Structure 1
Amino acid sequence: MACTARDRDIRPALRQRVAEAAPGGRVVDELGLCHGFVRVDVASITADCLHGYELKADRDTLSRLPVQVEHYSQAMDRCTLVTGDGHLQEALRVVPSWWGILRVEADLFGLRMEQLRAARPNPAPDALATCRLLWHKEALAFLEELGAARGVRGKSRAALYARLVEVVPEAQLRARVRQVLLKREEWRAS
Protein backbone atom coordinates (compact mmCIF):
# COMPACT_ATOMS: atom_id res chain seq x y z
CA MET A 1 0.00 0.00 0.00
CA ALA A 2 1.51 3.35 -1.08
CA CYS A 3 1.58 6.40 1.16
CA THR A 4 1.87 10.03 0.22
CA ALA A 5 5.46 11.33 0.18
CA ARG A 6 5.75 14.78 1.75
CA ASP A 7 8.50 17.37 1.44
CA ARG A 8 9.34 17.06 5.14
CA ASP A 9 9.89 13.32 4.61
CA ILE A 10 11.80 13.61 1.34
CA ARG A 11 14.18 16.49 2.13
CA PRO A 12 16.25 14.83 4.91
CA ALA A 13 16.64 11.63 2.90
CA LEU A 14 17.61 13.63 -0.19
CA ARG A 15 20.12 15.73 1.77
CA GLN A 16 21.76 12.57 3.09
CA ARG A 17 21.88 10.99 -0.38
CA VAL A 18 23.35 14.16 -1.92
CA ALA A 19 25.95 14.55 0.86
CA GLU A 20 27.07 10.93 0.47
CA ALA A 21 27.40 11.37 -3.31
CA ALA A 22 29.57 14.49 -2.98
CA PRO A 23 32.08 14.02 -0.13
CA GLY A 24 33.93 17.22 0.59
CA GLY A 25 31.09 19.23 -0.91
CA ARG A 26 28.43 21.31 0.71
CA VAL A 27 24.66 20.79 0.80
CA VAL A 28 22.54 23.93 1.06
CA ASP A 29 18.78 24.24 1.48
CA GLU A 30 16.86 26.98 -0.30
CA LEU A 31 19.69 28.46 -2.37
CA GLY A 32 18.36 31.68 -3.88
CA LEU A 33 18.60 32.22 -7.62
CA CYS A 34 18.02 35.58 -9.28
CA HIS A 35 18.33 37.24 -5.84
CA GLY A 36 15.74 34.98 -4.23
CA PHE A 37 13.10 35.08 -6.97
CA VAL A 38 13.47 31.29 -7.20
CA ARG A 39 14.92 29.00 -4.55
CA VAL A 40 16.69 25.71 -5.18
CA ASP A 41 15.21 23.23 -2.70
CA VAL A 42 18.52 21.41 -2.16
CA ALA A 43 21.82 22.41 -3.77
CA SER A 44 24.97 20.34 -3.88
CA ILE A 45 28.11 22.45 -4.22
CA THR A 46 31.47 20.93 -5.11
CA ALA A 47 34.54 22.38 -6.79
CA ASP A 48 33.36 20.86 -10.08
CA CYS A 49 29.58 21.12 -9.97
CA LEU A 50 26.64 23.15 -8.73
CA HIS A 51 23.74 20.68 -8.76
CA GLY A 52 20.20 21.80 -8.00
CA TYR A 53 17.45 19.48 -6.80
CA GLU A 54 13.82 20.55 -7.14
CA LEU A 55 11.38 18.61 -4.92
CA LYS A 56 7.80 18.11 -6.02
CA ALA A 57 6.09 16.06 -3.35
CA ASP A 58 2.74 14.45 -4.05
CA ARG A 59 0.83 17.31 -2.41
CA ASP A 60 2.74 20.02 -4.29
CA THR A 61 1.53 21.72 -7.43
CA LEU A 62 3.55 22.00 -10.64
CA SER A 63 2.33 25.53 -11.41
CA ARG A 64 5.74 27.12 -10.65
CA LEU A 65 7.80 24.35 -12.23
CA PRO A 66 8.27 26.04 -15.66
CA VAL A 67 9.69 29.19 -14.00
CA GLN A 68 11.85 27.11 -11.68
CA VAL A 69 13.16 25.08 -14.63
CA GLU A 70 14.03 28.30 -16.48
CA HIS A 71 16.04 29.76 -13.59
CA TYR A 72 17.68 26.50 -12.51
CA SER A 73 18.71 25.91 -16.13
CA GLN A 74 20.41 29.29 -16.32
CA ALA A 75 22.52 29.02 -13.16
CA MET A 76 23.12 25.35 -12.35
CA ASP A 77 25.68 22.95 -13.81
CA ARG A 78 23.28 20.02 -13.37
CA CYS A 79 19.67 19.72 -12.22
CA THR A 80 17.49 16.92 -10.90
CA LEU A 81 13.74 16.79 -10.33
CA VAL A 82 12.74 14.74 -7.29
CA THR A 83 9.11 13.63 -7.48
CA GLY A 84 6.62 10.88 -6.87
CA ASP A 85 4.51 9.04 -9.39
CA GLY A 86 1.67 11.54 -9.03
CA HIS A 87 3.60 14.27 -10.87
CA LEU A 88 6.03 12.20 -12.88
CA GLN A 89 4.39 12.18 -16.32
CA GLU A 90 3.45 15.86 -16.30
CA ALA A 91 6.87 16.85 -14.95
CA LEU A 92 8.63 14.91 -17.71
CA ARG A 93 6.93 17.20 -20.22
CA VAL A 94 8.31 20.28 -18.45
CA VAL A 95 11.92 19.47 -17.55
CA PRO A 96 14.63 19.40 -20.25
CA SER A 97 16.14 16.08 -21.28
CA TRP A 98 19.46 16.90 -19.55
CA TRP A 99 17.76 17.12 -16.15
CA GLY A 100 17.95 14.06 -13.93
CA ILE A 101 14.81 12.44 -12.56
CA LEU A 102 14.72 10.89 -9.09
CA ARG A 103 11.46 9.09 -8.33
CA VAL A 104 10.36 8.94 -4.69
CA GLU A 105 8.04 6.34 -3.29
CA ALA A 106 6.80 6.11 0.26
CA ASP A 107 5.09 3.13 1.82
CA LEU A 108 4.54 1.76 5.29
CA PHE A 109 8.17 0.62 5.38
CA GLY A 110 9.74 3.97 4.53
CA LEU A 111 10.96 6.07 1.66
CA ARG A 112 12.71 4.80 -1.46
CA MET A 113 14.43 6.82 -4.17
CA GLU A 114 15.03 5.48 -7.65
CA GLN A 115 17.20 7.23 -10.22
CA LEU A 116 15.14 7.16 -13.44
CA ARG A 117 17.47 9.45 -15.37
CA ALA A 118 20.92 10.74 -14.44
CA ALA A 119 21.53 14.47 -14.66
CA ARG A 120 23.82 15.53 -17.49
CA PRO A 121 25.87 18.73 -17.81
CA ASN A 122 23.89 21.88 -18.55
CA PRO A 123 24.29 22.51 -22.29
CA ALA A 124 23.72 26.28 -22.05
CA PRO A 125 24.44 27.88 -18.66
CA ASP A 126 24.16 31.65 -18.46
CA ALA A 127 27.19 33.51 -17.06
CA LEU A 128 25.11 36.41 -15.75
CA ALA A 129 22.78 34.06 -13.84
CA THR A 130 25.87 32.42 -12.36
CA CYS A 131 27.21 35.82 -11.22
CA ARG A 132 23.93 36.52 -9.43
CA LEU A 133 24.88 33.81 -6.92
CA LEU A 134 27.60 36.15 -5.62
CA TRP A 135 26.94 38.80 -3.06
CA HIS A 136 28.04 42.35 -3.82
CA LYS A 137 31.17 42.12 -1.65
CA GLU A 138 32.14 38.78 -3.23
CA ALA A 139 31.76 40.10 -6.77
CA LEU A 140 33.74 43.24 -5.92
CA ALA A 141 36.52 41.21 -4.26
CA PHE A 142 36.86 39.08 -7.40
CA LEU A 143 37.04 42.18 -9.59
CA GLU A 144 39.67 43.68 -7.28
CA GLU A 145 41.78 40.51 -7.57
CA LEU A 146 41.51 40.73 -11.35
CA GLY A 147 42.43 44.42 -11.37
CA ALA A 148 39.10 45.12 -13.08
CA ALA A 149 37.20 47.01 -10.36
CA ARG A 150 38.01 50.49 -11.62
CA GLY A 151 34.85 52.34 -12.56
CA VAL A 152 32.48 49.93 -10.80
CA ARG A 153 33.46 50.38 -7.15
CA GLY A 154 30.39 51.70 -5.36
CA LYS A 155 28.12 50.59 -8.21
CA SER A 156 25.19 48.19 -8.03
CA ARG A 157 25.45 44.42 -8.10
CA ALA A 158 24.21 44.52 -11.69
CA ALA A 159 27.18 46.66 -12.72
CA LEU A 160 29.62 44.33 -10.96
CA TYR A 161 28.06 41.27 -12.58
CA ALA A 162 28.18 42.88 -16.01
CA ARG A 163 31.87 43.65 -15.56
CA LEU A 164 32.60 40.09 -14.43
CA VAL A 165 30.85 38.65 -17.49
CA GLU A 166 32.83 41.07 -19.65
CA VAL A 167 36.29 40.23 -18.27
CA VAL A 168 36.19 36.62 -17.06
CA PRO A 169 35.88 33.56 -19.32
CA GLU A 170 32.69 31.66 -18.49
CA ALA A 171 34.36 28.46 -17.28
CA GLN A 172 36.64 30.44 -14.94
CA LEU A 173 33.69 32.48 -13.70
CA ARG A 174 31.60 29.40 -12.93
CA ALA A 175 34.56 27.76 -11.14
CA ARG A 176 35.07 30.88 -9.00
CA VAL A 177 31.41 31.08 -8.04
CA ARG A 178 31.48 27.44 -6.90
CA GLN A 179 34.66 28.14 -4.92
CA VAL A 180 33.06 31.15 -3.20
CA LEU A 181 29.91 29.19 -2.36
CA LEU A 182 31.97 26.34 -0.91
CA LYS A 183 33.86 28.73 1.38
CA ARG A 184 30.98 31.05 2.29
CA GLU A 185 30.51 30.94 6.04
CA GLU A 186 27.50 33.16 6.60
CA TRP A 187 24.45 32.30 4.55
CA ARG A 188 21.61 34.76 4.36
CA ALA A 189 18.66 35.38 2.10
CA SER A 190 19.93 36.66 -1.23
Structure 2
Amino acid sequence: MSSDKSAEALLKAAVIDRLINSGVLDESSVLVSELTVDNWTHRTDLVLANGRLCGFELKSERDSLSRLPAQIKSFSRHFEKFVLVVAKKFEKRALELIKESSGVGLWIASNNGEITEKIRPRAKSISPEASISLITATELRRFLTANGIKHQKASHRSDLVNLAKKLPPNVLADGARTAIKTRFKEVHQRFLLQRELTGSYEAIPALRRTTGSRPPIALPYEAHDLTKYPTIPTEHPDLIYAPSGPVIARSRR
Protein backbone atom coordinates (compact mmCIF):
# COMPACT_ATOMS: atom_id res chain seq x y z
CA MET A 1 0.00 0.00 0.00
CA SER A 2 1.41 3.37 -1.02
CA SER A 3 1.82 6.20 1.45
CA ASP A 4 -0.89 8.18 -0.36
CA LYS A 5 -3.35 5.33 0.00
CA SER A 6 -2.38 4.87 3.63
CA ALA A 7 -3.08 8.52 4.40
CA GLU A 8 -6.46 8.31 2.67
CA ALA A 9 -7.44 5.11 4.47
CA LEU A 10 -6.31 6.44 7.84
CA LEU A 11 -8.48 9.54 7.42
CA LYS A 12 -11.46 7.48 6.29
CA ALA A 13 -11.04 5.16 9.28
CA ALA A 14 -10.93 8.17 11.62
CA VAL A 15 -14.17 9.53 10.14
CA ILE A 16 -15.87 6.15 10.45
CA ASP A 17 -14.75 5.78 14.07
CA ARG A 18 -16.13 9.24 14.86
CA LEU A 19 -19.50 8.37 13.30
CA ILE A 20 -19.73 5.08 15.17
CA ASN A 21 -18.51 6.41 18.51
CA SER A 22 -20.90 9.37 18.37
CA GLY A 23 -23.90 7.08 17.90
CA VAL A 24 -24.85 8.61 14.56
CA LEU A 25 -24.52 5.23 12.91
CA ASP A 26 -27.36 3.12 14.30
CA GLU A 27 -28.74 -0.29 13.33
CA SER A 28 -30.71 1.14 10.40
CA SER A 29 -27.72 3.03 8.98
CA VAL A 30 -25.50 1.96 6.11
CA LEU A 31 -22.00 3.16 5.26
CA VAL A 32 -20.97 3.37 1.61
CA SER A 33 -17.46 3.86 0.28
CA GLU A 34 -16.68 5.42 -3.12
CA LEU A 35 -20.23 6.19 -4.33
CA THR A 36 -20.32 7.74 -7.80
CA VAL A 37 -22.77 10.57 -8.50
CA ASP A 38 -23.53 13.17 -11.16
CA ASN A 39 -23.49 10.77 -14.12
CA TRP A 40 -20.31 9.10 -12.86
CA THR A 41 -18.34 12.35 -12.95
CA HIS A 42 -17.63 12.46 -9.21
CA ARG A 43 -16.97 9.80 -6.60
CA THR A 44 -17.84 10.44 -2.97
CA ASP A 45 -15.30 9.12 -0.48
CA LEU A 46 -17.90 8.11 2.11
CA VAL A 47 -21.67 8.20 2.45
CA LEU A 48 -23.77 7.67 5.56
CA ALA A 49 -27.33 6.62 4.77
CA ASN A 50 -29.62 6.83 7.78
CA GLY A 51 -32.57 9.22 8.09
CA ARG A 52 -30.75 11.35 5.54
CA LEU A 53 -28.07 10.90 2.93
CA CYS A 54 -24.86 12.48 4.17
CA GLY A 55 -21.81 12.65 1.91
CA PHE A 56 -18.20 13.07 3.06
CA GLU A 57 -15.33 14.26 0.90
CA LEU A 58 -11.94 13.58 2.48
CA LYS A 59 -8.70 15.44 1.76
CA SER A 60 -5.65 14.06 3.52
CA GLU A 61 -2.41 16.02 3.78
CA ARG A 62 -1.14 14.21 0.67
CA ASP A 63 -4.15 15.17 -1.48
CA SER A 64 -4.61 18.01 -3.94
CA LEU A 65 -7.51 20.48 -3.78
CA SER A 66 -7.62 21.07 -7.53
CA ARG A 67 -10.94 19.23 -7.99
CA LEU A 68 -12.48 20.34 -4.72
CA PRO A 69 -14.57 23.30 -6.00
CA ALA A 70 -16.37 21.06 -8.51
CA GLN A 71 -16.76 18.30 -5.91
CA ILE A 72 -18.32 20.67 -3.36
CA LYS A 73 -20.79 21.90 -5.96
CA SER A 74 -21.76 18.39 -7.05
CA PHE A 75 -21.96 16.76 -3.63
CA SER A 76 -23.96 19.66 -2.20
CA ARG A 77 -26.60 18.96 -4.85
CA HIS A 78 -26.73 15.20 -4.37
CA PHE A 79 -26.75 14.83 -0.58
CA GLU A 80 -29.08 16.13 2.11
CA LYS A 81 -26.00 16.83 4.22
CA PHE A 82 -22.45 17.27 3.00
CA VAL A 83 -19.29 17.41 5.10
CA LEU A 84 -15.81 18.30 3.90
CA VAL A 85 -13.07 16.66 5.97
CA VAL A 86 -9.59 18.11 5.45
CA ALA A 87 -6.13 17.90 6.96
CA LYS A 88 -5.19 20.84 9.16
CA LYS A 89 -2.99 22.42 6.49
CA PHE A 90 -6.02 22.81 4.17
CA GLU A 91 -8.26 24.52 6.73
CA LYS A 92 -7.85 28.08 5.42
CA ARG A 93 -8.45 27.12 1.78
CA ALA A 94 -11.43 24.94 2.72
CA LEU A 95 -13.05 27.82 4.59
CA GLU A 96 -12.65 30.04 1.54
CA LEU A 97 -14.26 27.48 -0.74
CA ILE A 98 -17.29 26.63 1.37
CA LYS A 99 -18.24 30.25 2.07
CA GLU A 100 -20.00 30.21 -1.27
CA SER A 101 -21.79 26.93 -0.51
CA SER A 102 -24.29 27.39 2.29
CA GLY A 103 -24.92 24.38 4.48
CA VAL A 104 -21.62 22.58 3.89
CA GLY A 105 -20.01 21.19 7.04
CA LEU A 106 -16.29 21.28 7.76
CA TRP A 107 -14.25 18.86 9.87
CA ILE A 108 -10.56 19.37 10.51
CA ALA A 109 -8.22 16.37 10.96
CA SER A 110 -5.15 16.96 13.11
CA ASN A 111 -1.82 15.20 12.59
CA ASN A 112 -2.58 12.78 15.45
CA GLY A 113 -5.83 11.66 13.84
CA GLU A 114 -8.27 13.64 15.97
CA ILE A 115 -11.18 15.23 14.12
CA THR A 116 -12.76 18.54 15.15
CA GLU A 117 -16.02 19.90 13.81
CA LYS A 118 -15.40 23.44 12.56
CA ILE A 119 -18.74 24.01 10.85
CA ARG A 120 -21.83 21.90 11.41
CA PRO A 121 -23.60 20.85 8.19
CA ARG A 122 -27.16 21.96 7.60
CA ALA A 123 -29.75 19.55 6.26
CA LYS A 124 -31.54 20.51 3.08
CA SER A 125 -33.78 18.96 0.49
CA ILE A 126 -32.32 17.69 -2.74
CA SER A 127 -33.97 18.02 -6.13
CA PRO A 128 -36.09 15.26 -7.67
CA GLU A 129 -33.49 14.94 -10.42
CA ALA A 130 -30.71 14.38 -7.88
CA SER A 131 -32.73 11.77 -6.00
CA ILE A 132 -33.58 9.88 -9.17
CA SER A 133 -29.96 9.93 -10.33
CA LEU A 134 -28.96 7.96 -7.22
CA ILE A 135 -31.35 5.10 -8.10
CA THR A 136 -30.40 2.43 -10.63
CA ALA A 137 -32.78 1.37 -13.41
CA THR A 138 -33.57 -1.92 -11.66
CA GLU A 139 -34.24 -0.07 -8.41
CA LEU A 140 -36.41 2.45 -10.26
CA ARG A 141 -38.63 -0.32 -11.57
CA ARG A 142 -39.18 -1.68 -8.06
CA PHE A 143 -39.67 1.83 -6.71
CA LEU A 144 -42.32 2.73 -9.29
CA THR A 145 -44.18 -0.54 -8.70
CA ALA A 146 -44.13 0.04 -4.94
CA ASN A 147 -45.68 3.46 -5.50
CA GLY A 148 -48.43 2.16 -7.79
CA ILE A 149 -47.03 3.51 -11.06
CA LYS A 150 -47.42 1.12 -13.98
CA HIS A 151 -44.55 0.67 -16.41
CA GLN A 152 -43.26 -1.74 -18.99
CA LYS A 153 -40.58 -4.21 -17.89
CA ALA A 154 -38.56 -3.33 -20.98
CA SER A 155 -38.82 0.43 -20.46
CA HIS A 156 -35.63 2.41 -20.93
CA ARG A 157 -34.24 4.36 -18.01
CA SER A 158 -35.33 7.66 -19.57
CA ASP A 159 -38.95 6.45 -19.56
CA LEU A 160 -38.66 5.31 -15.94
CA VAL A 161 -37.21 8.69 -14.96
CA ASN A 162 -40.12 10.55 -16.56
CA LEU A 163 -42.57 8.39 -14.62
CA ALA A 164 -40.67 8.90 -11.37
CA LYS A 165 -40.79 12.69 -11.77
CA LYS A 166 -44.54 12.51 -11.17
CA LEU A 167 -43.89 11.61 -7.53
CA PRO A 168 -43.39 14.21 -4.75
CA PRO A 169 -39.78 15.25 -3.96
CA ASN A 170 -39.91 13.79 -0.44
CA VAL A 171 -41.03 10.41 -1.80
CA LEU A 172 -38.17 10.44 -4.30
CA ALA A 173 -35.64 11.36 -1.60
CA ASP A 174 -36.88 8.49 0.57
CA GLY A 175 -36.65 6.20 -2.44
CA ALA A 176 -33.03 7.19 -2.99
CA ARG A 177 -32.14 6.52 0.65
CA THR A 178 -33.89 3.16 0.61
CA ALA A 179 -32.24 2.13 -2.66
CA ILE A 180 -28.75 2.94 -1.42
CA LYS A 181 -29.31 1.24 1.92
CA THR A 182 -30.59 -1.91 0.24
CA ARG A 183 -27.82 -1.96 -2.37
CA PHE A 184 -24.99 -1.64 0.13
CA LYS A 185 -26.43 -3.25 3.27
CA GLU A 186 -24.60 -6.55 2.87
CA VAL A 187 -21.26 -4.82 2.23
CA HIS A 188 -21.84 -2.58 5.26
CA GLN A 189 -22.52 -5.55 7.51
CA ARG A 190 -19.44 -7.34 6.19
CA PHE A 191 -17.35 -4.29 7.03
CA LEU A 192 -18.71 -4.11 10.58
CA LEU A 193 -17.82 -7.76 11.16
CA GLN A 194 -14.32 -7.21 9.85
CA ARG A 195 -13.97 -4.03 11.92
CA GLU A 196 -14.71 -5.97 15.10
CA LEU A 197 -11.75 -8.21 14.34
CA THR A 198 -9.18 -5.82 12.94
CA GLY A 199 -10.27 -2.22 13.54
CA SER A 200 -11.52 0.33 11.01
CA TYR A 201 -8.27 0.94 9.14
CA GLU A 202 -7.59 -2.70 8.30
CA ALA A 203 -11.28 -3.27 7.50
CA ILE A 204 -11.51 -0.51 4.86
CA PRO A 205 -11.12 -2.97 1.91
CA ALA A 206 -14.21 -4.84 3.14
CA LEU A 207 -16.26 -1.66 2.66
CA ARG A 208 -15.68 -1.69 -1.07
CA ARG A 209 -18.48 -3.13 -3.13
CA THR A 210 -17.15 -6.00 -5.21
CA THR A 211 -18.43 -8.09 -8.08
CA GLY A 212 -17.97 -11.82 -8.31
CA SER A 213 -16.61 -13.68 -5.33
CA ARG A 214 -16.93 -12.08 -1.92
CA PRO A 215 -13.71 -11.33 -0.03
CA PRO A 216 -13.37 -13.70 2.93
CA ILE A 217 -13.74 -12.30 6.42
CA ALA A 218 -10.66 -12.93 8.52
CA LEU A 219 -11.31 -15.22 11.46
CA PRO A 220 -9.63 -15.03 14.85
CA TYR A 221 -6.55 -17.22 15.08
CA GLU A 222 -8.22 -19.39 17.71
CA ALA A 223 -10.79 -20.56 15.17
CA HIS A 224 -8.00 -22.24 13.21
CA ASP A 225 -6.22 -23.81 16.20
CA LEU A 226 -6.63 -27.53 15.49
CA THR A 227 -4.93 -28.50 18.77
CA LYS A 228 -8.22 -27.77 20.49
CA TYR A 229 -9.84 -30.73 18.80
CA PRO A 230 -9.21 -34.43 19.60
CA THR A 231 -7.01 -36.47 17.27
CA ILE A 232 -8.95 -38.77 14.95
CA PRO A 233 -7.90 -42.39 15.57
CA THR A 234 -6.61 -44.06 12.41
CA GLU A 235 -8.53 -47.25 13.24
CA HIS A 236 -11.93 -45.51 13.38
CA PRO A 237 -14.39 -47.50 11.16
CA ASP A 238 -15.90 -44.31 9.65
CA LEU A 239 -12.57 -42.62 8.87
CA ILE A 240 -12.27 -41.15 5.37
CA TYR A 241 -9.60 -38.97 3.80
CA ALA A 242 -11.11 -35.75 2.46
CA PRO A 243 -9.11 -33.11 0.52
CA SER A 244 -8.80 -31.12 3.74
CA GLY A 245 -7.52 -34.13 5.72
CA PRO A 246 -8.90 -37.09 7.70
CA VAL A 247 -12.52 -36.73 8.88
CA ILE A 248 -15.24 -38.93 10.34
CA ALA A 249 -17.95 -39.67 7.80
CA ARG A 250 -21.48 -38.69 8.77
CA SER A 251 -23.52 -41.75 9.68
CA ARG A 252 -26.67 -42.49 7.69
CA ARG A 253 -29.75 -43.78 9.43
TM-score in same-fold range (> 0.5)? yes
- 2:57, 2:182 → 1: CA distance? 23
**Residue type of the partner of 1:162?**
N
Q: Looking at secondary structure, tell me which structure has more strand per residue.
A: 1
Is contact 1:33–1:39 with CA below 8 Å preserved after alignment?
Answer: yes
Of 88-97 and 73-82, the range deviating more from structure 2 = 88-97
1:22 alignment partner, SS class: coil
Which of 92, 99, 103 pairs up with 1:98? 103
Q: What are the within-5 Å matches in structure 2 for residues 46-125 of structure 1?
A: 46=50, 48-95=51-98, 96-106=101-111, 110-122=112-124, 125=126
Structure 1 residue 178: Cα displacement: 0.7
Query: Unaligned 5+ residue runs, structure 1?
Result: none
Question: How far apart are 1:153 and its partner, in Å?
Answer: 4.3
- Report what 1:145 is aligned to: 146
- Tell me: higher relative CO, structure 1 or 2? Use CA pairs within 8 A at least 6 residues apart: 1
**Tell me, what secondary structure is at the counterpart of 2:110?**
strand
Q: Offset of 1:141 from its aligned partner?
A: 1.3
The one-letter amino acid paired with 1:156 is: H
Equivalent-residue separation in structure 2 for 1:12 and 1:188 (angstroms): 19
| Higher alpha-carbon Rg | 2
Q: For structure 2, which runs of at least 5 residues remain unmatched after alignment?
A: 188-208, 212-253
SS in 2 for 1:111: coil
Distance 2:160 2:70 in 1: 25
Alpha-carbon RMSD across the aligned residues, in angstroms, is 2.2
Q: Post-superposition, which runs of at least 4 consecutive aligned residues in structure 1 deviate over 6 A?
A: none
Same amino acid, percent of matched pairs: 23
TM value normalised by structure 1? 0.84
Q: CA deviation at 1:162?
A: 2.8
Partner of 1:16: 17
Distance 1:188 1:153 in 2: 27
Q: Is the 8 A contact 1:19 1:44 kept in 2?
A: no
For 2:11 and 2:136, the matched residues in 1 are separated by 30
Change (3 A) 1:101 1:23: same
SS at match of 1:149: coil
Compute the TM-score of the two structures, normalised by the length of structure 2.
0.65
What is the total number of aligned residue pairs between the two structures? 179
CA distance in 2, matches of 1:76, 1:17: 20
